[in-house]
Structure 1
Amino acid sequence: MSIPQLLTLLAMLLHIAGILAAMHAVMHTRTPQGAFAWALGLALLPYVTLIPYLYLGRSHFRGYVTLHRAHRQRLSQASLRGEQGGVPEECAQYAALSQMLGNNFHAGQQLQLLINGEAAFEAIFHAIAQAEHCILIQFFIFHDDALGRRMQQALLERAAAGVKVFALFDGIGSHALPRHYVETLRHGGVAIYPFATQRYSNRFKLNFRNHRKIVVVDGWLGFLGGLNVGDEYLGLKPPLAPWRDTHLQMSGPAVLDLQRSFAVDWHWVTGELPPIMPPRLAQGEAYSLIAATGPADPQESCSLYFTVVINAARKRLWLTTPYFVPDQAVMSALRLAVMRGVDVRVLIPVRPDHRTVFLASTLHAYDAINAGIRIYRYQPGFVHQKVILIDDESASIGSMNLDNRSFRLNFEIGALNVDRAFALDVERMLVADFALAVEVTRDEYRKAAYLRRLAMHVARLFDPIL
């Protein structure tokens, strides 16, 4: 067979594979927009789109979904049996969230706001050092750098002291983590595994990553938020430094739901359950709802989480996110909040860490400004925190970004807290952040060069996978 004939045959095979993949995309992609984009690209340009589809387009992980939902239902029923009454009156505006998630608002929480990496990791390391029985730790990213090795040593020390240590990291988020880092922990008595929705080959699977950040010590002290384990989260790696982020320390009954979220993921990876310890009674005043969301849920739980929280606002909605790529439901909720007279402000970065997302975010920011939403760019460094302040009594802190990847593709976790004192702490923090930000005007888009504006519109075509 001649070279031209071989190339012709190869082209035909690629087009056939593209058509088959397009049929798969039509049947299995979660949104009509995503299905149309993939199908069109695969049918017409399989040379360009076929390999990306292998990485990004697969959307079914039935084994995980079945097991995940069974565990969630069983654990939620156990939680509901342990609580008396329904949603507290103070939290009535979020009753739909409690029903969707199958979780209760827990009273008596003690909450502490941890601003930036140094404060957060000092609190986490202090808690780990005090552990007597069990540590559950889960991060999207572990790096083998100074902070990562400090975490490694802290876990090894507690394991050597007889504490049971269970650790999860995401297989793609921590793709650069060397094998010897994990093996050192295992040899030291730490049970540590990568998370993946498929137990076997995962080479072509970039979607459905576990983006959660959870630490639970002895069943009663919990941490969650936006930080991962790496030097950049301490602001030690320019050009994104200083790194602006927020974590939450909590104690009280809601920590049990952090353990349950970890247990579902751990059981999928290992086939076993970690110990679930009873939380200590706390003397706090806050109500907290733990929201563990992800693509295995029957509903698009993360997008609905944002929608319900936005719709609850009556006076003020301040929101910070590194990636502003709202879907139609969330954008509509933000528009309606403005129409209700709510002070809607969004804090986003001035510097990109992912250029395509940054371009798409810039165009969405322009649309938001036209809708009356006030957009600010944080000037000192990269803002990575995921915080929502609702009126004067509610605040959410977690791992959830305002983009489609968090809405539909990632496993996330957050805490919605109802307490005036804690909301005031969050308000003070955000007032300081906005003081270091510059409000964006329409000119950011209008005065941009034509090719840059074109790049923004092209980037927005990729919203379903950003």
Structure 2
Amino acid sequence: MLSSIIGAVVVLLHAAGVLAAMHAVMNTRTPQGAFAWALGLVLLPYVTLVPYLYLGRSRFHGYVDLHRLRREQMQAMADIQLESALSTPDTCTRYAEIAHMLRTRFHAGQKLRLLVNGEAAFDAMLAAIGEAKHCVLVQFFIIHDDTLGRRLQQVLLERARAKVEICVLYDGIGSHALPHQYVDTLRDAGIAVHPFATQRRSNRFQLNFRNHRKIVVIDGTRGFVGGLNVGDEYLGLKPPLAPWRDTHLQIEGPAVADLQRSFAEDWHWVTGALPPLLSPTPNEGHAHTLIAATGPADRQETCSLFFVAAIHAARRRLWITTPYFVPDQAVMSALRLAVFRGVDVRVLIPSRPDHRTVFLATGLYAHDAVRAGIRIFRYQPGFLHQKVMLIDDDTASVGSMNLDNRSFRLNFEIGALNVDRTFAMQVEAMLREDFTHAHEVTEAEYLGAPYLRRLAMHVARLFDPVL
């Protein structure tokens, strides 16, 4: 009797695995991902079926339709309201395909401030929120109820008492540990706060399509974007990853309106309403800034294409820092071609893991990159989480985008691409300092590793579609 029941369960699991494999073949975004899922689901449904329920879904039509409609409406509003008084320089035309793809543009006259590491970034953000007069928009992938999280909570509560309108958006999975009490305290003070999800109805099986963006906008005049979330670990207060290396950016100028627009699209999906949208300050700086908001609701794989286009624009130097180096074929090919053009291509990655599987896959891709002439460096003092790219002598981007499949195809991301020699010099100085605390990876790192570790690297790479 027991053996019959076990046999029936096995047959049902394999039948469910075959059905799920058919779904994967029809819906997974890449052939490699479809093959990996289908093979696992057919041969090992006992192992892969449950993960596929959480990670395999690749479509969310309701969000896509509304996202595209709202983007078109808001872009039309921006075209009317935000015409720049300054002409776009020729140096920005190298990135024309990015602007065209994202249906956005460079804004002239931005005033930029580079914020190195968590203390500087959160001091600036919390001070700016504390000075808000009209409205505050806050969006993070992760908000923790710890010392930093409570600092944010207190400054928001103080501004709410001053009748400032506040909207807070956090990712439902990234902030899964955020207590209800933390959220209720904000709501009781009149602050609008919501979790982001691509389905308005709760779906415990939906782990893909996370909102990885980090946006703060104060009174429509000051905006912040970068790699930092709200938690004590981002201040370097939680070993073994401490000290935490990260970078954020403060923007003042018309480009802040595009940060507002990105926030408004996500807010409208969650709430059905628009947040307050205020006009940005006049042009007072010298930088040209393009806000690149990418995500799986776009018609193209915009994040991957953003990196490909930026890499192709490099003629002398391309320095990239990323915590996860799991590039797709298009990005890896673009990096190889940059080497052939004589570009100084360097990639700075961590020497400590926060996600073991991704770290192992990163090691194998680092080995492939070194063999292709790409210089790879491992940052030594602590965990490197910054997402920065320096192109030639005049362009630098700061944002939330990693070089991995989740950023390329599964997450909503945002970054600022800035063309300005002065700002690029500041980023160069910052990265040169980082490189002094790194050691260069050679082929010996992989070749000298124990066989089982090398095997683990290759196995980890099989999970590229979900890393």
The 1:88–1:71 alpha-carbon spacing in structure 2 relative to 1, beyond 3 Å, is farther
Summarize the alignment of residues 327-338 of structure 1 with structure 2, pairs less than 5 Å apart. Answer: 327-338=328-339
CA contact (8 A) 1:137 1:166 kept: yes
Summarize the alignment of residues 342-421 of structure 1 with structure 2, pairs less than 5 Å apart. Answer: 342-421=343-422
Name the CA distance, whole Å, in 2 between partners of 1:142 and 1:350. 25
Deviations 1:206-227 (A, max 9, x none): 1100000000000010000000
* Aligned-pair CA distance for 1:87: 5.5
* Aligned-pair CA distance for 1:16: 1.2
Name the CA distance, whole Å, in 2 between partners of 1:269 and 1:27. 28
The secondary structure found in structure 1 opposite 2:32 is helix
* Aligned-pair CA distance for 1:366: 0.3
Instruction: Compute the TM-score of the two structures, normalised by the length of structure 1.
Output: 0.99
Identify the residue that residue 66 of structure 1 maps to in structure 2. Answer: 65
Amino acid at match of 2:107: H
Name the CA distance, whole Å, in 2 between partners of 1:304 and 1:5. 52
Name the CA distance, whole Å, in 1 between partners of 2:174 and 2:464. 20
CA contact (8 A) 1:221 1:251 kept: yes
Amino acid at match of 1:451: L
Name the CA distance, whole Å, in 2 between partners of 1:464 and 1:269. 27
Amino acid at match of 2:79: L
CA contact (8 A) 1:321 1:346 kept: yes
Name the CA distance, whole Å, in 1 between partners of 2:50 and 2:348. 35
* Aligned-pair CA distance for 1:134: 0.2
Identify the residue that residue 17 of structure 1 maps to in structure 2. Answer: 16
CA contact (8 A) 2:217 2:260 kept: yes
The secondary structure found in structure 2 opposite 1:323 is coil
CA contact (8 A) 2:165 2:191 kept: yes
CA contact (8 A) 1:241 1:381 kept: yes
Name the CA distance, whole Å, in 1 between partners of 2:119 and 2:88. 36
Deviations 1:40-95 (A, max 9, x none): 11111111110000000011100000000111122223323443698642201000
Identify the residue that residue 240 of structure 1 maps to in structure 2. Answer: 241
Is residue 44 of structure 2 the alignment partner of residue 45 of structure 1?
Answer: yes
Identify the residue that residue 28 of structure 1 maps to in structure 2. Answer: 27
Identify the residue that residue 121 of structure 1 maps to in structure 2. Answer: 122
Deviations 1:372-428 (A, max 9, x none): 000000010000000000000000000000101000000000000000000000000
Identify the residue that residue 224 of structure 2 maps to in structure 1. Answer: 223
The secondary structure found in structure 1 opposite 2:210 is coil
Identify the residue that residue 425 of structure 1 maps to in structure 2. Answer: 426
The secondary structure found in structure 1 opposite 2:237 is coil
CA contact (8 A) 2:67 2:297 kept: yes
CA contact (8 A) 1:79 1:103 kept: no
Name the CA distance, whole Å, in 2 between partners of 1:282 and 1:187. 38
Name the CA distance, whole Å, in 1 between partners of 2:179 and 2:75. 37
The secondary structure found in structure 1 opposite 2:193 is strand
Identify the residue that residue 306 of structure 2 maps to in structure 1. Answer: 305
The secondary structure found in structure 2 opposite 1:314 is coil
Name the CA distance, whole Å, in 1 between partners of 2:276 and 2:147. 30
Name the CA distance, whole Å, in 1 between partners of 2:89 and 2:259. 20
The 1:308–1:86 alpha-carbon spacing in structure 2 relative to 1, beyond 3 Å, is farther
CA contact (8 A) 1:134 1:217 kept: yes
Q: Which moved more, 1:66-75 or 1:414-423?
A: 66-75
Amino acid at match of 1:373: I
The secondary structure found in structure 2 opposite 1:36 is helix
Q: Which moved more, 1:86-95 or 1:369-378?
A: 86-95
Summarize the alignment of residues 179-328 of structure 1 with structure 2, pairs less than 5 Å apart. Answer: 179-328=180-329
Amino acid at match of 1:67: L
Identify the residue that residue 54 of structure 1 maps to in structure 2. Answer: 53
CA contact (8 A) 1:378 1:433 kept: yes
Instruction: Compute the TM-score of the two structures, normalised by the length of structure 2.
Output: 0.98
* Aligned-pair CA distance for 1:12: 1.2
Name the CA distance, whole Å, in 2 between partners of 1:368 and 1:80. 41
The secondary structure found in structure 2 opposite 1:317 is strand
CA contact (8 A) 1:316 1:344 kept: yes
Name the CA distance, whole Å, in 2 between partners of 1:86 and 1:98. 15
Name the CA distance, whole Å, in 2 between partners of 1:73 and 1:157. 36
The secondary structure found in structure 2 opposite 1:372 is coil
Is residue 79 of structure 2 the alignment partner of residue 80 of structure 1?
Answer: yes
CA contact (8 A) 2:88 2:108 kept: no
Deviations 1:162-201 (A, max 9, x none): 0000000000000111111101110111100000001112
Name the CA distance, whole Å, in 1 between partners of 2:66 and 2:214. 21
Amino acid at match of 1:304: L
CA contact (8 A) 1:87 1:104 kept: no
Identify the residue that residue 439 of structure 2 maps to in structure 1. Answer: 438
Gaps of 5+ in 1: none
The secondary structure found in structure 2 opposite 1:189 is coil
Q: Which moved more, 1:296-305 or 1:70-79?
A: 70-79
CA contact (8 A) 2:144 2:230 kept: yes
State the superposition RMSD in angstroms: 1.0
Gaps of 5+ in 2: none
The secondary structure found in structure 2 opposite 1:430 is helix
